[in-house]
DNA sequence: CTGAACTGAGAAAAGGTTTTCTCAAGTTGC
DNA sequence: GCAACTTGAGAAAACCTTTTCTCAGTTCAG
């Protein structure tokens, strides 16, 4: 405002005002100026406010680089991910970023794209810039990032990606989430709950399938198959064809491995005039709102609480940076069932 | 490797090795050590390689904070966005990040969520950390971020969001993109090309609608309506109902304002047994792959080249930081038509 | 053999801040 | 009136690197 109309499109930048400038203007030494601005040391109240006023007037901001150099702490962390576009790491990153920024810590975005060269490039850059710690996140819980973060001499936290052994990680409780879904269906009186899910190469597929089978057994329900295929709408379609055109009795509920599959399932059911939720209830996984909300009817689905997971990871990194000892290991954070309309009401409801 | 098996889960961090350590170990002064490692100054080849070997052996990395302090350049920029989750700013951010990282510049991720308080927090943090410049990006071309970036004394670039007056901005050429789509349809022999698009509160809606009308006129085709509504699948459904249940002649092509609408349009057409592309061709906008690929048939759609846009913005910021003078103004970057199967083949093809 | 040019390397300043140490002046207690 | 504190403030070191300046010793031309 007060500095005129520099359009800022290039050319000479004005030199930032330093503590020396403030001290000079206030007629004191830099030491005194520093103490005045940090509410430290001893001096007359008059001197202190005079210096503070001068600083404000000059628009003084302490140079964070100099502070970091001295404090051996940059208030900066690196966020390593191989999934910038992805809908999993995004909420995680948002949660991390939120937790850190609230604590005055800035976040370097480092997209490594499954490329070891890029990974090393980013890690080197972070090391050079003296980040206080690193958070690694990815698109799959069971895949490593293309870099080795152990032995860097820095605190490292893993969120939603496979950790180095002996480190600290936060992941979602997929068994728990799957239980939530299947128990919900059982509670609503569904007896034949099928499972349509992703490729068997994914660890979570097996975790969720096991929970599905376990809950059926616990509830005294007949075992039902877990159909594995791609994570796509098309596979949802095809799975419905298999389930309804086969010889066995058709299901009255489908627990899907993700929301895209669920969307395909719902569309396929509608195309064969099977009513959702009246004839068949459907539950998804991920709570990918744009998909879950657009399906007809809106999809009841498991939310992995990824933002909370990220926040937790961020806060844990901060306490690590502060020197707190944190027990290594993998922490599973609970999921949450997002109830919409694809399961209907319980018989008595 | 050589430093043993510190699990890195907390406790004392080892002090990074400094130039002083290297100099001491090599039996020279820090000045000489610095010059040796930067291939500067004069000394025997023997001395130089000895120092370099020592540095390597000790795992020395120059402290970027100290270098930045001296060079008055932090090799760091801030990326301000109000759309961390979003599918528009993400590719832009990826492009920016890519361009910058390749030039040794790290990126602070600053999500401001349309919250002025958060915006100020982030801007202050960036200023404190002495970023070399700022890139602002957002989810809408016609909406300002909740912070004022003018008069910061820093280079600023806007990407896919409304710039301050007199500044430098990169946006997609929406008219051009829309022309691409409608001309494609016309070239394929479609004569009645309707337009179903987003709310009239969006500037891009009007730009694309104008291009639609213009191309129809240029091609000597009858004017067709531009139906405006929400950016949703549901609106795509409803628009088809209006177009086909109304009194007028039904369209033989629909140019949609985004891929979700297009998806709704395609689903609605299938439900009324109108064949796509045989009876009606459909074009979307955004090339949101997850939607465009999942629709049946896969959607031909306009790609705004957002990654390239981001890359361009990043490179421009760098030249600004280097002191190059860049003409202020808004640069429109061309779109690209992503041809899939929702428009079929030209009559002669 | 002497002044000039060159060589290899170190000393010191700079960058901006924080913190500890020092010190002169003023105040209290006896 | 003097020792012992207290007060307000500055000097200087520290953080780590880069760069300019300085300097002793060597080589060369004349």
- Give the rounded percent of residues in chain B with a pLDDT score beyond 70: 95
Instruction: Classify domain B174-304 at the CATH topology level.
Output: Rossmann fold (3.40.50)
Residues of A in contact with B122 (CB under 8 A): 101
Backbone angles phi, psi at A68, to 5 degrees: -60, -40
Query: Does position B122 have pLDDT exceeding 60, yes or no?
Result: yes
> A218-230 b/e with 16+ CB inside 10 Å = b?
eeebeebbbbbbe
Confidence of residue B24 (pLDDT cuts 50, 70, 90): very high
Residues of B in contact with A75 (CB under 8 A): 129
Q: In Å, what is the separation between the CA of A76 and the C1' of D19?
A: 29
Query: Does position B257 have pLDDT exceeding 80, yes or no?
Result: yes
Confidence of residue B265 (pLDDT cuts 50, 70, 90): very high
Residues of B in contact with A130 (CB under 8 A): 16, 63-65
- Per-residue confidence (pLDDT) for residue A140, from 0 to 100: 86
Q: Are A155 and A134 in contact (CB under 8 A)?
A: yes
Confidence of residue B204 (pLDDT cuts 50, 70, 90): very high
Partner-chain residue, chosen from B90, B91, B151, that has the shortest CB–CB distance to A3: B151
Partner-chain residue, chosen from A9, A74, A109, that has the shortest CB–CB distance to B168: A9
Query: Does position A349 have pLDDT exceeding 80, yes or no?
Result: no
Q: Is residue B15 exposed (0-12), middle (13-18) or buried (19+ Cβ within 10 Å)?
A: exposed
User: Between chains, do A151 and B79 touch, taking CB under 8 Å as contact?
Assistant: no
A191 CA: distance to closest CA in chain B (Å): 31
B37-60 pLDDT, tens digit each:
999 988 999 999 999 999 999 999
Every domain of chain B with CATH number 3.40.50.2300 lies at 74-172+306-334, 174-304
Query: Does position A12 have pLDDT exceeding 70, yes or no?
Result: no
Average pLDDT, chain A: 92
Q: Is residue A49 exposed (0-12), middle (13-18) or buried (19+ Cβ within 10 Å)?
A: exposed
Query: Does position A250 have pLDDT exceeding 60, yes or no?
Result: yes
B219-234 pLDDT, tens digit each:
999 999 999 999 999 9
Q: Which of B133, B73, B83 is nearest to B108 (CA)?
A: B133
CATH number of A73-173+306-334: 3.40.50.2300
DSSP codes of every residue in B123-155: HHHHHHTT-SEEEEE-S-TT---SS--TTSSS-
- Per-residue confidence (pLDDT) for residue B6, from 0 to 100: 43
Average pLDDT over residues B231-249: 93
Average pLDDT over residues B285-309: 95
DSSP codes of every residue in B177-190: HHHHHHHHHHHTT-
DSSP run (H or E) holding B194: strand B193-197
- Per-residue confidence (pLDDT) for residue A7, from 0 to 100: 44
Is the previous residue joined to B297 through a cis bond, with omega within 30 degrees of 0?
Answer: yes
Mutate to test the interface with A, among B4, B10, B72, B287 (most CBs of A within 10 A): B10
Q: Which residue has the higher pLDDT, A22 or A141?
A: A22
User: Between chains, do B232 and A16 touch, taking CB under 8 Å as contact?
Assistant: no
Q: Which of A294, A199, A162, A149 is nearest to B295 (CA)?
A: A294
**Residue of chain A whose Cα is closest to the Cα of B151:** A6
Dist CA A143 CA A138 (whole Å) = 8
| CA-CA-CA-CA torsion sign (A112, A117, A120, A121) | negative
Confidence of residue A247 (pLDDT cuts 50, 70, 90): confident
Average pLDDT over residues B246-271: 94
Average pLDDT over residues B14-21: 90
Confidence of residue A246 (pLDDT cuts 50, 70, 90): confident
User: Between chains, do A9 and B327 touch, taking CB under 8 Å as contact?
Assistant: yes
Q: Are B265 and B293 in contact (CB under 8 A)?
A: no
- The mean-pLDDT minimum among A156-160, B82-86, B173-177 falls in B82-86
Under 8 Å CB-to-CB from A288, ≥6 apart: which residues?
A87, A258, A259, A260, A301
Query: Does position A2 have pLDDT exceeding 60, yes or no?
Result: no
| CATH architecture of the region B19-62 | Orthogonal Bundle (1.10)
Q: Which of B328, B342, B217, B347 is nearest to B285 (CA)?
A: B342
Every domain of chain A with CATH number 3.40.50.2300 lies at 73-173+306-334, 174-303
Closest nucleotide to the alpha carbon of B38, via C1': D18
- Give the rounded percent of residues in chain A with a pLDDT score beyond 70: 95
Average pLDDT, chain B: 92
CATH number of A174-303: 3.40.50.2300
Strand D bases with any atom < 7 A from protein Cβ: 7-12, 14-21
- Per-residue confidence (pLDDT) for residue B89, from 0 to 100: 87
**Residue of chain B whose Cα is closest to the Cα of A14:** B153
User: Between chains, do A7 and B167 touch, taking CB under 8 Å as contact?
Assistant: yes
Every domain of chain A with CATH number 1.10.260.40 lies at 1-60
User: Between chains, do B90 and A90 touch, taking CB under 8 Å as contact?
Assistant: yes
- Per-residue confidence (pLDDT) for residue B281, from 0 to 100: 98
A206-244 pLDDT, tens digit each:
999 999 999 999 999 999 999 999 999 999 999 999 999
Three-state DSSP state, A217? helix
- The mean-pLDDT minimum among A99-103, A142-146, B62-66, B324-328 falls in A142-146
Every domain of chain B with CATH number 1.10.260.40 lies at 19-62
Q: In Å, what is the separation between the CA of B342 and the C1' of D25?
A: 83
Q: Which of B110, B142, B140 is nearest to B127 (CA)?
A: B110
B313-323 pLDDT, tens digit each:
999 999 999 99
Backbone angles phi, psi at A318, to 5 degrees: -60, -40
CA angle B119, B123, B125 (to 5 degrees): 115
For domain B74-172+306-334, the CATH superfamily is Response regulator (3.40.50.2300)
Structure tokens at A1: 């405002």
Query: Does position B84 have pLDDT exceeding 80, yes or no?
Result: no
For domain A1-60, the CATH superfamily is lambda repressor-like DNA-binding domains (1.10.260.40)
Average pLDDT over residues A57-86: 93
User: Between chains, do A326 and B10 touch, taking CB under 8 Å as contact?
Assistant: yes
């Amino acid at each position: 405002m007060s500095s005129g109309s520099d359009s800022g499109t290039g050319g000479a930048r004005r030199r930032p005002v330093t503590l020396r400038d403030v001290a000079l203007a206030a007629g004191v030494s830099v030491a005194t100026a520093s103490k005045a601005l940090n509410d430290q040391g001893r001096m007359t109240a008059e001197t202190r406010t005079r210096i503070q006023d001068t600083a404000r007037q000059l628009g003084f901001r302490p140079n964070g680089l100099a502070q970091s150099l001295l404090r051996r702490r940059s208030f900066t962390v690196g966020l390593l991910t191989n999934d910038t576009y992805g809908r999993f790491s995004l909420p995680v990153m948002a949660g991390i970023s939120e937790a850190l920024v609230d604590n005055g810590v800035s976040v370097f975005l480092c997209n490594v794209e499954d490329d070891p060269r890029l990974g090393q490039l980013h890690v080197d850059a972070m090391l050079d810039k003296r980040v206080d710690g690193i958070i690694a996140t990815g698109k799959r819980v069971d895949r490593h990032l293309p870099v080795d973060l152990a032995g860097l001499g820095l605190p490292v936290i893993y969120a939603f990606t496979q950790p180095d052994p002996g480190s600290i990680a936060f992941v979602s409780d997929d068994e728990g989430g799957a239980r939530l879904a299947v128990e919900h269906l059982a509670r609503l009186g569904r007896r034949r709950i099928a499972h349509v899910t992703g490729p068997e190469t994914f660890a979570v597929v097996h975790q969720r399938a096991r929970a599905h089978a376990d809950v059926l057994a616990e509830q005294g329900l007949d075992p039902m198959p877990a159909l594995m295929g791609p994570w796509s709408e098309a596979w949802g379609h095809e799975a419905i064809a298999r389930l309804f055109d086969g010889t066995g009795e058709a299901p009255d509920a489908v627990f899907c491995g993700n929301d895209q599959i669920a969307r395909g399932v719902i569309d396929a059911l509608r195309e064969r005039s099977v009513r959702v939720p009246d004839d068949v209830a459907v539950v998804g996984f991920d709570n990918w709102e744009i998909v879950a909300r657009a399906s007809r009817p809106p999809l009841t689905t498991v939310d992995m609480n990824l933002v909370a997971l990220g926040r937790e990871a961020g806060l844990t990194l901060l306490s690590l940076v502060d020197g707190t000892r944190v027990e290594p290991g993998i922490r599973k954070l609970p999921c949450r069932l997002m109830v919409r309309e694809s399961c209907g009401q319980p018989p008595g409801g």
